[in-house]
A and B are shown apart, each in its own frame.
Chain A
Amino acid sequence: MSAPEIRAMREPVIERIRERMHDDAGVFFLTADFGSPALDRLRAEFPDRFLNVGIAEQNMVNIATGLALEGYKVFAYAIAVFATLRCYEQLRVNLGVLAQLRPMSVHMIGVGAGVSYDVSGPTHHGMEELAAVRAMPRFAVACPSDWVLARKWVDHAVDAGGTGYIRLDGKPVARLYDDAALAAADYRIGFHAFSVSAPLTVVATGFMTQKALRLRERLAARGVAIGVVDVFNLRDPDGVRFREALHGVATVVTLEEGFPHRGGLDTLVRSLLDGAPTRIRPRGFAERYTFEIGPREFLHEANGLDEASLEAFLLETLAERA
């Protein structure tokens, strides 16, 4: 197998937005003074539909709302925690409450899911924002695990309209979805089963899906099979299909870069599997902010989420059921 192509999610996402701007004069791009090489090109090609509003996320959402009320399809781009938590009241009042009464298309793009800004410390770690935006009704929440899926979401956002948030990793990530899986990935279905294993299947989102697939390889080398399901629509994946896909699975381990039991992935999975006999074991960050300095894997290690610890946890969990 050839090595998967590794890319930072924001590059293909912004490239795709720029392409859509070519055929749709209504697409508008706002940034809160946050950049990328792809954005330099977008800005040069579309000076009339690009604005840097400065480090002012509240104003960015308000301006996005005003532009959307005038018919523009707006993308608003910032670091993940600031694109959501810094301006949560603006999201709620304008992209939640108002959007229910007046149709609009505004999609927040947040870069820096989980601890992808590892050495920047807890101010820049996206640990709660996924749960926070999930609390709003009607607000789309996308958490892609690779860059081709992230790019595909742009088309969904432009074509479907509405309001929502896409959570992008801050680090380059491997491509996980092959052409067939990507073609089948549908935001309304909201998840993709890479494999399902009846004794234990990991349900993960974002970067943790990358990790889950590596764990699957490690365990396979020891002759142990696990399943991996990637959830990329964190608001409303298709519950019927999800229950069907996981039918007969004894244990689901949820994996997220966030605090478990706080409204993120594990909460979603619990609600989707409500009434099923499946045992759910959530794994995420410990109940504290992480001040340790070091690369992502080091921070994972500090929280028991490094590959070795997770491998041991999965083996123990399997043994419990045996």
Chain B
Amino acid sequence: MDAFPALRGADRFRYLREKAHWLRRETLRLHKVAPETRVASSLSDVEIFTALWYGGLVAVDPRDRFGKDRTRFLLSKGHGGLSMYPILAEKGFFPASELENICKPGTFLGGIPDPIIPGFETVNGSLGHGPGVATGMALGLKRRGNPAQVVVVTGDGELYEGSVWEAILYAPSQRLDNLTFIVDRNDTAMLNFTEKIAELEPLADKFRAFRWETREVDGHDVEAVWNALTELRASPSPFPRCLIARTVKGKGAPTLEGNPLSHITSLKGEEVDRLRAAMGERP
């Protein structure tokens, strides 16, 4: 099933790039199936999800999805969840045919994912919950001596929620080295660029000041994302880890990239077809 562990060197990253390419094309295709989905947010997190789920950094058995050894993966930015659906279908959490029903009556695949979808741990999309819940899970695992990892992905607009900072303040004090916080730093909230709303920068310095072991990478370079996450996991730091993935909201769709309103912009079906055709089958 999962080819990554058997691959070595450049082959690994070729594999991850192919997966990311596939995932971006699938995300676009599914947006055509359900135009009410937040495509721009879902295009910025493609390489993050690919590195995690195809790079061996998130391990969840679809036949035992709450097994105690699983990686706890929390998608706090639930609105970017469209690009998780093809991964979960491909890994066997639900039949791939369900993807054609996104947002249609009777499906469990909504515009913002909830744990009625196999593969999702928590309620997402209401912002400001994931980091604190992940902190509690990481704490619970530590207290029980369970070595499983907790990974939480937020957007950057979500960083305006005060509860996120309560968790950022608290997790280091508990030395939760089993917790990884990934920020999909696509510079854009719902109505504008973050730096025009209230400056988040210097963001990495903020995490470091709170004692998080922090890296910043190009969030669309899947190799760099994988390397940074792997390095963070191997770090001897007793503190929780943070990866700031510098991304582009709407990556791969020129009408969305650089558009301050990309969050609430949908792509027309013909535009999706054109983009997918231009991308080709392979990267």
How far apart sit A94 and B133, CA to CA, in the bound complex (Å)?
Answer: 9
B166 CB contacts on chain A under 8 angstroms: 56, 58-59, 62
- Contact, CB under 8 Å: B114 / A65: no
Interface residues of chain B: helix, strand, loop or mixed (majority):
helix
- Contact, CB under 8 Å: B170 / A93: no
Q: A59 touches which one: B115, B126, B137, B167 (CB < 8 A)?
A: B167
How far apart sit A89 and B114, CA to CA, in the bound complex (Å)?
Answer: 16
B residues 102-118 with Cβ under 8 Å of A? 114-116
How far apart sit A53 and B134, CA to CA, in the bound complex (Å)?
Answer: 15
Bitwise, A44-86 to B at CB < 8 A (1) or not (0) is 0000110101101011011111111111100000000000000
Chain A CB within 8 A of B236 CB: no
Q: A62 touches which one: B116, B135, B144 (CB < 8 A)?
A: B135
Chain B CB within 8 A of A90 CB: yes
Q: A63 touches which one: B114, B126, B135 (CB < 8 A)?
A: B135
- Contact, CB under 8 Å: A69 / B133: yes
B114 CB contacts on chain A under 8 angstroms: 97, 101
- Contact, CB under 8 Å: A49 / B143: yes
Interface residues of chain A: helix, strand, loop or mixed (majority):
helix
A48 CB contacts on chain B under 8 angstroms: 143
- Contact, CB under 8 Å: B140 / A94: no
B167 CB contacts on chain A under 8 angstroms: 59, 62-63
Chain A CB within 8 A of B211 CB: no
- Contact, CB under 8 Å: B123 / A69: no
User: What interface size band does chain B fall in?
Assistant: 20 to 34
> Which residue, B132, B140, B169, has most C-beta atoms of chain A within 10 A?
B132
Chain B CB within 8 A of A98 CB: yes
B residues 122-157 with Cβ under 8 Å of A? 122-123, 126, 128-129, 131-141, 143-144, 146
A93 CB contacts on chain B under 8 angstroms: 123, 126, 129
Chain B CB within 8 A of A22 CB: no
- Contact, CB under 8 Å: B133 / A66: yes
Q: A67 touches which one: B121, B122, B136 (CB < 8 A)?
A: B136
Chain B CB within 8 A of A102 CB: yes
- Contact, CB under 8 Å: A69 / B126: no
Q: B140 touches which one: A56, A70, A89, A97 (CB < 8 A)?
A: A70
User: What interface size band does chain A fall in?
Assistant: 20 to 34
Residue of chain B at shortest CB distance from A58: B163
Residue of chain A at shortest CB distance from B161: A58
How far apart sit A56 and B161, CA to CA, in the bound complex (Å)?
Answer: 13
- Contact, CB under 8 Å: A58 / B170: no
Chain A CB within 8 A of B280 CB: no
- Contact, CB under 8 Å: A63 / B162: no
CB distance from A50 to the nearest CB of B (A): 11
Residue of chain A at shortest CB distance from B120: A101
Q: A72 touches which one: B129, B133, B140 (CB < 8 A)?
A: B140
Q: B163 touches which one: A59, A97, A102 (CB < 8 A)?
A: A59
A53 CB contacts on chain B under 8 angstroms: 170
- Contact, CB under 8 Å: B139 / A90: no
Q: A63-B170, A101-B115 are in contact. Are A94 and B129 (CB under 8 A)?
A: yes
Residue of chain B at shortest CB distance from A102: B115
Bitwise, B169-198 to A at CB < 8 A (1) or not (0) is 110000000000000000000000000000
A102 CB contacts on chain B under 8 angstroms: 115, 122
- Contact, CB under 8 Å: B140 / A101: no
Residue of chain B at shortest CB distance from A54: B170
CB distance from A178 to the nearest CB of B (A): 40
Residue of chain A at shortest CB distance from B137: A66
How far apart sit A62 and B154, CA to CA, in the bound complex (Å)?
Answer: 15
CB distance from B98 to the nearest CB of A (A): 18
Q: A48-B143, A101-B116 are in contact. Are A62 and B123 (CB under 8 A)?
A: no
CB distance from B159 to the nearest CB of A (A): 15
A90 CB contacts on chain B under 8 angstroms: 129, 132, 163
How far apart sit A142 and B174, CA to CA, in the bound complex (Å)?
Answer: 32
- Contact, CB under 8 Å: A98 / B163: no
- Contact, CB under 8 Å: B170 / A66: no
Q: A66 touches which one: B115, B126, B136 (CB < 8 A)?
A: B136
Residue of chain A at shortest CB distance from B163: A58
A97 CB contacts on chain B under 8 angstroms: 114, 123
- Contact, CB under 8 Å: A62 / B140: no
How far apart sit A56 and B141, CA to CA, in the bound complex (Å)?
Answer: 22
Given A61-B132, A66-B133, A98-B122, 12 more pairs with CB closer than 8 A? A56-B169, A59-B135, A62-B133, A62-B167, A65-B122, A65-B129, A69-B122, A69-B137, A70-B146, A71-B144, A90-B163, A98-B115
- Can you name 15 A-B residue pairings with CB atoms under 8 Å? A58-B128, A58-B132, A62-B131, A62-B163, A63-B133, A64-B136, A66-B133, A67-B139, A69-B137, A70-B144, A70-B146, A71-B144, A94-B129, A97-B123, A98-B123
B positions within 8 Å CB-CB of A: 114-116, 121-123, 126, 128-129, 131-141, 143-144, 146, 162-163, 166-167, 169-170
Please name the 4 residue pairs, one residue from A and one from B, whose CB atoms are nearest each other, closest first.
A66-B136, A62-B132, A70-B140, A59-B166
